Amino acid sequence: MTHSINWIRDNFETFLKLTKARNFKDFELETLLKIDEERRNLILQTQELQNTRNNLAKQIGKSKGEPDKYNDLMKQSTNLKSTLSELEEKTKQKQADLDYLLDRIPNILQDSVPHGADENDNVEIKKWGNVPVFSHLVKDHAELGIAVQMMDFETAAQNSGSRFVYLYSKLAKLERALINFALAELETEGFTEVSPPLMVNSKAYYGTGQLPKFEGDFFKAEEDKFLISTAEISLANIFNNKIVAESELSTKYCAATPCFRSEAGSSGKDTKGMIRMHQFYKVEMVIASTPEKSDEEHLKMLAITEKLLQKLELPYRVINLCSGDIGFSANKTYDIECWMPAQNKYREVASISNTGDFQARRMMARFKRSDVSGKGKNEYIHLLNGTAIACGRILCCLLENNQQPNGSIKLPPALHKYLGFEGV
């Protein structure tokens, strides 16, 4: 369970202040306490009746020579058994009601997260690079890709529906080059590359916080099998129900996978081009850390993604997400937004999040503290996740920022050895 009901009950005012930062509805928390009180009353009644039944059992054992008394006590015991069964069912239902609400309470935010209602209240931390100035009419990535006959939305729509694309020739190679470029850089940063499952069960989705609240955001393949919306789900759940040694932390994993998202609720948003797709490739990072090092690892992860974008020579800015825009599982998130000339604005290309022990509690991911006695206690690990390269969006940024008057594209030197060519 993500949140401790005992801690919430004992520190309700503090918890209320923390959840208000996320605009969490007060009445739901009041309902939580009410259900918890009813559950505890049922448990108390059950315990009292169990004690009564135990006493009856002793009396029954002593009354076997007294038929009338014996029969009367047996009748009472039978009635108690029936009542206990009803109480146990009611208790199970109250526990289920309690779990339902607890599972839908988001992570508690760090103090450094700015308060705000939505993305308009996010705080810009810094910018890097110069926004390009063009002497010709700026085209968007879709126009550029279609013009060179390497980006095909029409055929994809015929075969798969909207929000899919065929990439050909140099653009297909560019997508693959971005993956190889990012993985090579992450290897130098101490990450272990993983080829993970692309389908996971509901337990794995629950562990990272996508279930039960966000089931409509991803694709169900079959009974209790879901396509991953990000490699974070497969990578973080490597620690599901495990206890690792403190010496094994910080563990760093990365993976390049296709990601599948239903984009529920995004009707009308970015319907043109490759910005919001049902399927896209992404290189993802996950770090399992000790609690005292997780903030440091968070900043390191941010620096890695920044370094990749700098090598790709893409102008970007770093955003500290406010309380009204941050994800369900995160306690702090930095977004990186790259400049998109055709839209004349920065667009998100990476998200770097610290979840603290939120995900670890859901998946029972723990580590054993080092102790000279060999009896170090178990604690929850801290899990962090971040985008290294979102291939589709970065491809779009590369096309738009490097377009030439004749419609060709110059690509940054950092990619040349992965491509075998210098432009499109």
Judged against a pLDDT cut of 90, whether residue 54 lies above it is answered with no
Q: What is the mean pLDDT of residues 379-399?
A: 98
276 is catalytic: yes
Per-residue model confidence as pLDDT tens digits over 364-383:
999 999 876 667 789 999 99
pLDDT at 364: 96
Residue 292 scores a pLDDT above 80:
yes
Query: Which of 22, 163, 261, 366 is labelled catalytic?
Result: 261
> Is the pLDDT reported for residue 1 higher than 60?
no
Catalytic-labelled residue, pool 38, 143, 348, 379: 348
Whether residue 351 lies in the annotated active site: yes
Length of the chain: 424
Range(s) of the chain covered by CATH 3.30.930.10: 119-419
Here the tokens at position 375 are 């009896």
Determine what percent of the chain is predicted with pLDDT higher than 90: 75
CATH 3.30.870.10 fits 5-102, yes or no: no
Catalytic residue among 104, 276, 317, 347: 276
Range list for CATH 1.10.287.40 in the chain:
5-102
What does pTM read for this prediction? 0.91
pLDDT above 70: residue 362: yes
- Half-sphere exposure in the Cβ direction for 25 (13 Å, CA): 6
Catalytic annotation, pick one of 289, 337, 393, 400: 393
The model's pLDDT over 208-234, given as tens digits with 9 standing for 90+, comes to 999 988 888 889 998 899 999 999 999
Q: Which amino acid is at 348?
A: E
For residue 224, the one-letter residue type is: D
Reply yes or no on whether the pLDDT at 19 is more than 90. no
Per-residue pLDDT band for 325 (boundaries 50, 70, 90) equals: very high
Residue found by looking up tokens 């009472």 in the block: 76
Given the residues 284, 351, 362, 400, the one annotated as active site: 351
Q: Using one digit for the tens of pLDDT, what is the confidence trace for 238-265? A: 999 999 999 999 999 999 999 999 986 6
Fold of 119-419: BirA Bifunctional Protein; domain 2 (3.30.930)
Tell me what the mean pLDDT of segment 298-321 comes to.
98
- What is the C-alpha separation between 278 and 161, in angstroms, rounded? 10
Residue 302 phi/psi, 5° resolution? -60, -45
Query: How does DSSP classify residue 241?
Result: T
Long-range own/partner contacts, residues 187-194 (CB < 8 A, 24 or more apart): 189/252, 189/304, 190/252, 191/252, 191/253, 191/254, 191/285, 192/251, 192/252, 192/253, 192/254, 193/253, 193/254, 193/255, 193/256, 194/234, 194/235, 194/238, 194/253, 194/254, 194/255
Catalytic annotation present for 176: no
